[in-house]
Structure formats: C-alpha cells, structure tokens
Amino acid sequence: MTTVPPPVEDPSFSLAGTREPPRRVLMKGNEAIAEAAIQAGCDAYFGYPITPQAELLEWMAKRMPEEGRAFVQAESELGAINMALGAGAAGARVLVSSSGPGVSLMAEAMSYMAGSEVPMVLINVMRGGPGLGSIGPSQSDYFQAVKGHGHGDYRVPVLAPSSLGEAMEMVATAFELAEHYRTPVIILADGIMGQAMEPVEQHYRTPPRQTASWALTGADGREPRVVRSLHLAPEELEEHNAHLQEKFRAIAEHEVRWAGERLDDADLVIVAYGTAARVARTAIARARAAGLRVGLFRPISLWPFPSAELAGVADRTRGLLVVELSAGQMVEDVRLAVAGKVPVAFEGRTGGMVPSPDEVVEALRELDATGSSRRARRVRRRPPIPVSGADHMHPHEPMAEPETGHDALSIFGDDAWMPHWYTVPVPTHPTRNGRGRGHGRNGSAERRRGDEGGTR
Amino acid sequence: MTATVPAAPRVIYQRPARLTDVSTRYCPGCGHGIIHRLVAEVLEDLGVDGRTIAVAPVGCSVFAYEYLGYDWCEAPHGRAPAVATGIRRVRPDAFVLTYQGDGDLAAIGTGEIVHAAARGELITAIFVNNGIYGMTGGQMAPTTLVGQRTTSSPTGRDVRAAGYPVPMTEMLAVLPGVAFAARGSIADPSAIGKTKAYIRKACEAQIRGEGFAVVEVLSNCPVGWGMTAQESIRYLQDVVVQTYPLGVLADRRAGAQSGAARPGTPPGTARHAENRPAGQEA
C-alpha cells in the first residue's frame, strides 16, 4: 500500500460554490469545463492564451475574481505552470489549461511537481502538431501526456473525457485524485470538446480538501515545511523514488477507468477515447446496420491504461481497430495490452482532420475481411545510412571482441580513470555467432525478419 | 570615586532565531552566509517569521531551506518569481520572499522576474549577484564583467561574442509596479549595514501592500573568481561596483518622494476563508 496521507479538511480553503438544482443548459465546452472547476472548489487558475482553449482562460478571468479566488494571466506557459506550482504547494486547489505547444513548455514544472508531490490539474485542449501545427482538434499529445512531458522517473494520471458532461464531472474527480495522491493530473481533451456546444446538466461536486497536513502556510508554532524535489544524496533520492514508485503502483492498481459499449456480442471492437470514441459510436451503429457485430472499448484513464480489461475483452473478439485523431499513439499501448492475441488495426487522421464514420466502417470491413487494416503495410527495410569515415562503426559489422574477453567497460580504455563503481567486471556470455555480442549479421537479420510492421 | 554598579547584562548581538545552527555547504569566504543572516535579522525584526513562505532558486543557494527556518518551496531554475506569485495569490496573509542568484534571476528567469515586477506582485526578491555560475563550476553569467575570466569565457568576457553585463535591477526599477529597488553589497561593514536597511525597506513595501520590491546584493565568489577571500572582497569594492553602482534605484513607496504607490491586495487574489461572503463555506 502507498503512503498517501489520509484526507484532511483544510479550513482555510473550505469554500463551496453556489448550489443550484441541476439545470440542462447549452454550453460551450471550454466554458462549461471552467465553470465546473469553479464549482469543484478551484481556488486558483493560471493560464496563457492559446487556441483552442482561450475561452477557458476568458471564463476564468471573469468568474474567478467574482468568486474571490486567484486568477493570473501569466507571461508564458512557463509562468502559468510555476504559479500553479507555488499555489499548489501552498495547499490551494489549482487549475491550469493550455494546448500542445503550451503544454510542451510546462513539461519542466510537471517534473518538479511530480517530484515534489504538488497537486494540480492541467487541461490540455489538444490541437494538431508537431510544432505550431494547426488549431484543429487532435489527439496527437497522447505520448506527451501518457509517456512524456518532463524528465525523470514519474507518471501522472491522465483522464480523457468523451462528452462535455463527462468532462465537467471529471474536473472534480481530477482534483480529488490530485490531492489524494499528491500528484499533477492531466485531463486530455481536444479542440472539438473545447469548442463544441452541448447540452449539459449542471450537477456540481466539491470534493473535500486534503492538503492541510503538508501545505506551506508559514511555520508559525510548528516545524518548517519544505516542498522540494532535490535529494542530492543518491541513497536519499533512490528512497524518494521508491516512495514515488509505490504511489504510482497504487494509482495503477486503483484508478483504472474505462467504459464498454455493445461488447457482449462483439466480433470486432473499436478502441478509442475522447472525440474519436464519438466518431466510433456512429461508425458502430452503421457497421451493425450492415451486419458487422462491433463494440466499443473506451479508455477513460489513459494512464493507468486499462490493459488487463482490454486484454480480457480482446480474448472474446477476432480483432481490434484503434481509432485516433493522430498518426497512431494509443495503438502502441493497445498492442502491448493484447500482446499479439488478436490483430490490432489502426485508423487515424492528423493535422486537425477527423476520421469520418464511413472511413471507420471501411477500416472495420477491412479488418473483418483480412485481419488487418489497409494502413498496415509490409515494411521493406534498406540498410541504414552508412556513417562516412567510420567503417569500423558500420552498424552491419560485428563489434570487435574486446581483447580481455570479459570487461564490457573496456571501451573506456585500460588507462581511463573510473570511479570504483564503474569497474565491476562483467562476465562474458558466449554469443550465438561466436564473433561478437549479438550485433552481428545473424542477429540483425533475425531482428529484421521479426519486425515487419503492420499487424500480423 | 563612587563605585559603579554594573548594568544588568544586555544582549546586543545574537543569532536570529530562524538562522539554523548548522555548517553550510558554501565555500570559505562566500557571501551567502552574510546575506542569509541579514534576511533572518530583518524578518525577525519585522515580526513576519511565522508567516514567511520563501522560494529557493537553483544555484548555490538551492539549500537555503537548510539554513533559514521558514516554510520553503523549491522552484525550477529561474521560476521563483512565478512560484512566489502563485503562493502570494492564494495566501494573501503570507510574507513571500524569493532568494535568487544572478544566473537564476538575470538569465534563465528573466521573463519571470520582469513580469512579476510589472504586475507589482507583493513579493520581495533578494537577488544575490556574484557575476558567475558558482554551483556548476564558475561559468560566465549575464552579469559577468567585461573581460572577466570564467570557465566558459577562458580569455575573458568578449563583448563581441558574449555582449555586455545586464543591469537587471536598473531594468526592473523603471517598471511602475516596483515599489522599491536598490543595490547593496557585502564588501565591508558599512555596506552590509546599508544592505540590511535596503532589505528592510523592500520587506516593508510588501507588508504595506505597496508593490514588488527587489534588493540586489553584490557578493563574491572566491572559488569561481580564482581569488582568495580577501582578494575577492577587494575586487568587489574596487572593480565590481564600477559596473554595478550601489544605491537606491527606485522608491515608489507611500511617503517616498518619487512615483505613486498603490497599496492593497490586487484583484485576482484568493480571499481567505474568513473574508469570503457568508454562505460560501463548505
């Protein structure tokens, strides 16, 4: 079990929004999410203008001061996320929002917040990348959110709503997760969700505060508190990392969220999240009308990814089709989860384009007929570009066997000074071709044969 | 002759309560110890020890939290003014201090300090300028003097390649949000006394809600400069002050002669629970 502190109410931040009976109203995504955050007890919002999330910033600019809460339009996304770090360290419930290019700038502080265990919720209203890309909707920041952002060994929970109502509820859940586990949490939305108007029921929820036991308030009559990620002694940092890993294991165990639709009789299953899942739902209705039994598996927590659940579903199907507004990112986690048990095909559009339901139906037909998708091509490899003037390093030549035959670190030379912990002798294991360390032609050829791309 | 009765013993000098009694990691002769002490003395005098939240930089003073017994938040390199902004906006009753070096404040953190100052954030920045990146081994900083040798300007700072020293505090002083800006030094007892007075004014500006305040403190780095401690102090007195003249650079505090202060808590600051309208409590 993890060492997450028990929930403690912090009296200095105990506000609840105005309670009104649920009303069904038409709202723009960014504004509805912003208001949901306010009603969930958000104390502070920091942001910087970027399309397609700018209305979220604008809503907060008006509403947060009205509610007597903190709002700053920062000088950059660096400024915004570090203000969030400070406010979060001081125990406030903090929201930050941006889109891909801004989230890239926030990567640094995300790492610090994960390391120093500062809660915060970041909403990424994804647009097309890489670089400045486009302002159209996209899901191309999956890797960034799930595998990436800053440096170091850490994970943050990533939640993906596929409707506005779900997004509004998810903000409260994200605050709760952030404070319970003392971690940043990412909500991965996209430009369609941010810009579209949908009817929403305004039920709001204000989770209890959980920050009083550690927040910075001024050391008056108690020991000083330090919120930090610096642990200079390797032993100390390793211990801190072990604590973090224990926390990540607890999150992976307890915080898996997903939804299934029409899975009971499904031969084929679409795996999609967010806006792609909405397209998939339409495609499934059309495919079923045409006689294909198709279901939907919708991951809601992208980390932790519902791998075991998806593997269970895959056992009862003939194939999976992953649909994304990207060149194929979540599909890697799907393939890891099903571990080759069934074919995994992919259908995606990039750059702000959205796959149409008919394109998805076409991909389903292809998967049904061939166990693959038209986008899965066989890859014919040519040799890598040779390194000029460095024949001895040619990737197709075996590496020279070290003379001593047992010190894998002899690359540094016998005379090189190394700290003592670098010079532990490494025993040699005989290699298959008897010439090198598995870098020879045979090994390469085997790898090439086994890595043909596509599905099966 | 009348016998004089000795007066009751009176404390005239002692360790400030929040200055912890540990050996620091600073090199022999380093100025950080003096500046830590000045900060601790002023905050104790002003009675804000128990509500101080300080923000540590990246650089030699990254371990300031071990030497000064306040609540501390670590900031990524250069981001201390943004972190302090976040703290101040949700804890309006706190006293918020950043302690930053010249690499932190004048290079990687230029954007954060300029905009915190422009907003007139109610924070106090202690800016320790020793003209060098001490912790990483004495590389050139934006504040390194023209011609000064460092490990990354081995033949001396050449303005054709590396430009000129950045007068950060003069640049901040022109911003209307800055209530107080001054440059002091730790070169001798007289300069240290003036520096302490500047730090006091900079802290009072925050307490009275008058705006952003910064005190640049010229300090030495004997190891990074390749000098003995005494040589480094003489270099500070004779050479460094030629580029960075000492004195008050802006004073817009209420009652000061120049400019106008705008006391009060800015909008966009969280009200504390007790100040929130009735019916909003959980």
Q: Which CATH superfamily is domain A11-214+231-254 in?
A: Thiamin diphosphate (ThDP)-binding fold, Pyr/PP domains (3.40.50.970)
For residues B25-41, average pLDDT: 97
> Do A109 and B76 count as a contact with CB atoms less than 8 A apart?
yes
Contact B73 A216 (CB under 8 A): yes
- Cα distance between residue B62 and residue A115, in whole Å: 16
Domain positions in chain B are 32-272
Residue B135's pLDDT is 94
Q: What is the pLDDT of residue A250?
A: 98
Spatial CB neighbours of A95, under 8 Å, sequence gap ≥ 6: A37, A42, A44, A45, A60, A84, A120, A121, A122, A123, A171
pLDDT the model gives residue A1 = 44
The pLDDT value recorded for residue A177 is 98
| Alpha-carbon radius of gyration of chain B | 20
Residue with tokens 């029409």: A262
In this complex, the residue of A88, A109, A219 whose CB is nearest that of residue B71 is: A219
Give chain B positions within 8 Å (CB) of A16: 280-282
Kindly list the averaged pLDDT for each block of 10 residues, start to end, along chain A of length 456: 50 47 83 96 98 96 96 98 98 98 98 98 97 95 95 98 94 97 97 91 90 95 97 96 98 98 97 97 97 98 98 96 97 97 95 96 94 59 71 54 50 52 46 42 41 40
Task: Flag whether residue B62 sits within 8 Å of chain A, measured between CB atoms.
Answer: yes
Roughly what angle, to the nearest 10 degrees, separates helices A29-39 and A54-66?
30
pLDDT of B53 > 60? The answer is yes
Q: From the list A9, A90, A228, which residue is nearest B87 (CB)?
A: A90
Q: In what order do the strands lie in the sheet with A344-348?
A: A258-261, A294-299, A268-271, A319-324, A344-348
Which chain B residues are within 8 Å of A44, Cβ to Cβ? Answer: 86, 89-90, 270
| Largest pairwise CA distance in chain B | 76
Alpha carbons A185 and A114: distance in angstroms, whole number = 10
Verify whether the Cβ–Cβ distance B79 to A228 is below 8 Å: no
Shortest alpha-carbon distance between residue B178 and chain A (Å)? 17
Amino acid occupying residue A268? L
Judged by CB atoms closer than 8 Å, whether chains meet at B282 and A225 is answered as: no
The answer on pLDDT for B62 being more than 70 is yes
φ and ψ of A110, to 5 deg: -60, -40
Q: What is the ipTM of this complex?
A: 0.92
Selecting from B52, B86, B114 the residue whose C-beta is nearest the C-beta of A83 gives B86
Query: Taking CA atoms, what residue in A is nearest to B53?
Result: A218
State the Cα–Cα distance between residues B136 and A388, nearest whole angstrom.
Answer: 36
pLDDT of residue A375: 53
- Looking at the complex, report in whole angstroms how far the Cα of residue A442 sits from the nearest Cα belonging to chain B: 46
Residue of B90, B114, B280 with shortest CB distance to A87? B90
CB contacts of B71 in chain A (<8 Å) are: 216-219, 224-226
Among chain B residues, CA nearest to A60: B268
3-state secondary structure of B260: coil
DSSP notation for B120-138: T-S-EEEEEE-SEETTTTS
Q: How far apart are CA A345 and CA A129, in angstroms?
A: 23
User: If you average pLDDT over residues B2-22, what whole number do you get?
Assistant: 87
Choose between A198 and B200: higher pLDDT: B200
Q: In which residue are the tokens 């919120």 written?
A: A227
Please, which residues 97-116 of chain B have a Cβ atom closer than 8 Å to chain A?
Answer: 111-112, 114-115
Residue among A46, A64, A230 whose CB faces B62 most closely: A230
Higher pLDDT, B117 or A426: B117
Q: Is the pLDDT of residue B46 over 60?
A: yes
pLDDT of residue A451: 41
Span B153-170, average pLDDT: 97
Mean pLDDT of B260-279: 58
Find chain A residues with C-beta within 8 A of B55's C-beta: 86
Domain A11-214+231-254 and domain A259-370, same fold? Reply is yes
Strand order across the beta sheet in which A120-126 lies: A70-73, A44-47, A94-98, A120-126, A184-190, A158-159, A301-303
Report the pLDDT value the prediction gives residue B268, as an integer from 0 to 100: 83
CATH class of this structure's domain B32-272: alpha beta
In the chain, the amino acid numbered B260 is A
A319, β-bridge pairs: A268
Helix (H) or strand (E) holding A370: helix A357-370
What is the per-residue pLDDT for A295?
Answer: 98
DSSP H helices, chain B, are 32-46, 64-67, 80-90, 102-103, 110-118, 159-162, 168-173, 189-207, 222-225, 229-235, 241-243
Q: Where are the domains of chain A?
A: 11-214+231-254, 259-370, 390-456
Q: How many CB pairs under 8 A join A and B?
A: 182
In CATH, the architecture of A259-370 is 3-Layer(aba) Sandwich (3.40)
Res. B153 pLDDT band, cuts 50 70 90: very high
Residue B56's closest chain A neighbor by CA?
A228
Span between the terminal Cα atoms of chain B, in Å: 75
CA distance B134 to B141: 10
As a whole number of angstroms, the distance between CA A422 and CA A403 comes to 19
pLDDT at A410: 47
State mean pLDDT over B135-147.
97
CB of B64 within 8 Å of any CB in chain A?
A: no
CB A250 within 8 A of CB A4: yes
Residue A412: what pLDDT? 52
Write down the residue that tokens 């505060």 correspond to.
A209
Contact predicate A323/A360, CB 8 Å: yes
CB contact under 8 A, A218 and B53: yes
Q: Chain A neighbours among B 66-95 (CB < 8 Å)? A: 69-76, 79, 82-91, 94-95
Decide: residue A181, CB within 10 A, 0-12 exposed, 13-18 middle, 19+ buried. buried
| Distance of alpha carbon A231 from alpha carbon B100, whole angstroms | 19
